[in-house]
Structure 1
Amino acid sequence: MRYKLVVTDLDGTLLDDKKNVSEANLEAIKRIRDLGILFTVATGRGERAARQFLELLEIDIPAILFNGGEIFEREKGPVYSKYLPKPIYNLVIDHFIENEIGIVAFYHDRIFIADFKPAHEIYLSREKVKYEKVDDLKKIDVVNKVILVGDVSYSIRKMKELEKKTGININYVQSERFYLEVLPDGVSKGEGLRQLCDILGIERQSVVAIGDNMNDLSMIKIAGLGVAVANAEESVKNAAKLVVPSNNEDGVAHLLNKLAKGEI
């Protein structure tokens, strides 16, 4: 069989708009596994927010978390992690702390919020995860990433201001409508997929990757078969070799069933 591994994004791709995995998707995942094709996820979620889906999907090989910043085994924990440099982290906190953007910081399975703002409700209502309230985010020494929650266009403008002011290039990417994620330098889902392929001993041309948002673009470009769901951003669909039905129409199942039948 031409393809040996399928990697899917979660939010907006495998998950429907209610954050559920359909029976059709679950059945299709079982079908390709029975054929010997490996299956895992690549998500911007961290360990806490991803775990329920890793367990539901019975992910038995490493998953890509934190948009490529971590390779994670469900039973063993992280096998690779990259962290946001403290000077960059402090610059971002200082630059955004006084405006209406909600700042959420992550360290493995811990989530931190300080100076609670209305924008934080967007994150908490969507992700439904527990967090730790802290007095000062800058007292956290090590983080995997930061999410800026709220008006992404505004956040991007502010990030460009910060880069111009400091002369420092900062790695950031939009992952959802209200999320701009600040990541360690060089981290992306595409680089996470390279790491995963090395761990599994699989050529990238044997990988199918499917996603919907800008943080999926890098892995869609480097996979042997890059796929977008119909609800994906236009630039993601333009980069994909195949577009399948939307996340609310079992697009992943559509892809996997074609794969199982040898039609792709």
Structure 2
Amino acid sequence: MKPYENTILISDLDGTLIPRGGRVSQANRAAIERFVRGGGRFGVATGRTPEAAAGYVGELPITAPSIFFNGAMLYDWQKKSVLATRTLPGGDVWPRFAAQCLAHFPQACIEVYTADNCNIISDPANDDPRLPHEFYRYQHVQLVDVADTERTPWLKFFVSDEPARLAVLEEETKAFGIGALAHSFYSEANYYEYVAQGVSKGAMLEEIRRLPSCAGVRIVALGDYLNDNEMLAAADVGVASGNAHEGTKAAADVVGCRVEDDLVPWVLEHVLRDGL
């Protein structure tokens, strides 16, 4: 029997597998390859699209179902096929809420994610500085271009702004009644996101468990920020990186090394070897 049989290792990207602004280290890459050779299956869980993630992890042996759009999509990396999606409900509520955001937060970068595109509906002058460094297509459109949510369902709604203004957005979200339709959360201090109610990386991890090919597997999940908390709690072993948000450390079973010190080799040495 191989050492990692019946184990899935699923990792968040930024701040967990990849230092912000960096790439997957050679040490992490070698550890993932060793894990897969040893019978394990490796997957990723990210707020990014599959296309965006490919620029960072496309050369890794991704052999497990993987989570994208912070839980709104489950994807088979090897077959390049979508296994499941969870779209935002509510019809024209979302275009109306987006219009309010555009009016009330004129400095924000506001993005609408559909299954095949990132649509930026805010002024191009507000674009998030990360965009030119990403590995995916995005387009600047008018809100009216994506307002027909029946024809083009929204998977995720995203606002990037200063933390103080996002605190105001949280209050407006409650007043608008979006809470009944959406799970909203911070994925960074200056990123506030919306997916369908009940959608999270943790909920999609449970979908992975229900796949016939994953029945009875042990799942070890790695993360660093609040949008990872439910995934770490749902996993058999949740591991927070040493640089993780304090709330994420509290949600984890184990706190490992910092992202800069290569978390995957640490997990193979301290978690999978010791059988925690």
Cα displacement string for residues 39-92 of structure 1 (whole angstroms, at most 9, x for unaligned residues): 111111112212234422131232111111110112232110011123342233
- The separation in 2 between residues aligned to 1:38 and 1:255, in whole angstroms, is 14
CA contact (8 A) 1:69 1:183 kept: yes
CA contact (8 A) 1:103 1:148 kept: yes
Report the 3-state secondary structure (helix = DSSP H, G, I; strand = E; otherwise coil) of the residue aligned with 1:78: strand
Q: Residue 96 in 1 paired to residue 116 in 2?
A: no
CA contact (8 A) 2:112 2:157 kept: yes
1:70 aligned to 69, 73, 84, which one?
Answer: 73
Shift in CA distance, 192/153, structure 1 to aligned 2, threshold 3 Å: farther
- The separation in 1 between residues aligned to 2:225 and 2:177, in whole angstroms, is 28
Cα displacement string for residues 96-155 of structure 1 (whole angstroms, at most 9, x for unaligned residues): 112222101111231111232544233414535331121225435211101101224422
Segments of structure 1 that go 5 or more residues without pairing to the other structure are none
Segments of structure 2 that go 5 or more residues without pairing to the other structure are none
CA contact (8 A) 2:186 2:226 kept: yes
Q: Residue 87 in 1 paired to residue 92 in 2?
A: yes
Give the match for residue 133 of structure 1: 140
Give the match for residue 51 of structure 1: 54
CA contact (8 A) 2:17 2:24 kept: yes
Q: Residue 108 in 1 paired to residue 115 in 2?
A: yes
User: 1:166 Cα deviation (Å)?
Assistant: 3.6
CA contact (8 A) 2:92 2:148 kept: no
Paired letter, 1:194:
E
Paired letter, 2:83:
V
Aligned positions, number: 263
- The separation in 1 between residues aligned to 2:219 and 2:122, in whole angstroms, is 42
- The separation in 2 between residues aligned to 1:56 and 1:35, in whole angstroms, is 18
Paired letter, 2:81:
G
Cα displacement string for residues 27-47 of structure 1 (whole angstroms, at most 9, x for unaligned residues): 111111122111111111112
Q: Residue 247 in 1 paired to residue 259 in 2?
A: yes
CA contact (8 A) 1:210 1:229 kept: yes
Give the match for residue 179 of structure 1: 191
2:214 aligned to 189, 197, 201, which one?
Answer: 201
Bigger CA drift: 212-221 or 108-117?
Answer: 108-117
Residue identity over aligned pairs, in percent, reads: 27
Q: Residue 13 in 1 paired to residue 48 in 2?
A: no
Shift in CA distance, 34/122, structure 1 to aligned 2, threshold 3 Å: same
User: 1:165 Cα deviation (Å)?
Assistant: 4.2
CA RMSD of aligned residues (A): 2.2
Report the 3-state secondary structure (helix = DSSP H, G, I; strand = E; otherwise coil) of the residue aligned with 1:181: strand
TM-score (norm 2): 0.86
